[in-house]
Homo-oligomer: A and B are copies of this chain.
Amino acid sequence: MELTANGPRSRSPLIKLLKMRETGLIAIILVLCIGMSFASPYFLTWVNMRAMVMAFAVEGIVVVGMTILLISGGIDLSVGSVTALAMVIAGWLFLQGIDPWVASAISIVACTGIGAFMGYFVTRVGLHHFIVSLAVMVIARGACLLMTGGRPIGLFTLPPEFKFIGQGAIGPIPLVIIIFLIVVLTFDFMLRRTTAFRKVFYTGSNEKAAAYSGIRTKRVIFLTTTLCSALCGVAGIIYMARFGSAQPTFGLGMELNVIAAAVIGGASLNGGSGTIFGAILGTVLLSVVSSSLALLDVSVYWQDIIRGSILLAAVSIDHYLNKRRR
């Protein structure tokens, strides 16, 4: 299987592994984990691992959408509020007596519509993703407030089969993690291997050259923008099932986290490069650092300083390793 987005090669698997853009990140995460497993006897337990993955799994779905959007040359600041809006719409509809599955489907369609709305302003009106998604971030948050009066919607009456999405497990593995893995693997595969997604790379790499290759770049950008919001919709529904409530203030500041994960994982803010696998590693890195600080009960007043420093160090080391390898 190909593991770097660019460049189909056929070498030995080991050399391939060492040549991957992601190898540096994997190494850094491993070093952190090994360090942690000495520092805390609880780190390497199944329960801890499970909790750590649960903490980023749903956000990871949004990271997938953001990464694809970044590759196409876009960006989306509205992910946090659109995810919240997904919960709110579905929760609100459910309270109006609509079947939760139908409510969820409607909500995901609505989020997809929001993405299309942004895509329209970007590709037809010609505005920059940054400013359009910033406006939509504010509007979607406003819609959350309007629909809830600012009050979280308690959804304890959701049927157990529905809550199962967020709280159930198949064998020892929570369903949330399974959904996350399916989304990640699917899109990782599609992005590396399918013709349709290759156009995303062309468009992000040089939009004009892509247009001169007959690619309908506006459509590509429209679709990646829409996809990102649709995945926010999916994430919102899973959060709702998991927390049994819909929170209008959910996901404040999520955008920076999600973009950071993608960028740490090698996505370029100028478009044209990035991998799902890398972005998820970026998510894992951020998450391992946070969880470790909590596990070691580092003083709250020190945590941010340490967290920021580790982030900076990790990114620098990764950059250095990548530069050396090339």
Contact = CB atoms under 8 A, between A and B. Distances in A.
Interface string A141-174: 1110110011000000000000000000000000
Contacts of A319: 125-127
Q: Taking the full assembly, how many copies of this chain does it contain? A: 2
Contacts of A121: 312, 316
A142 B308 contact: yes
Interface in A279-318: 300-309, 311-312, 315-316
Interface of A is mostly: helix
A125 B270 CA distance: 19
Contacts of A39: none
A142 B302 contact: yes
A interface, how many residues as a size bin? 35 or more
A128 interface: yes
Contacts of A136: 308, 312
A145 to B, nearest CB: 5
Interface of A: 77, 121, 125-128, 130-132, 134-143, 145-146, 149-150, 253, 256, 259-260, 263-264, 269-270, 300-309, 311-312, 315-316, 319-320, 323
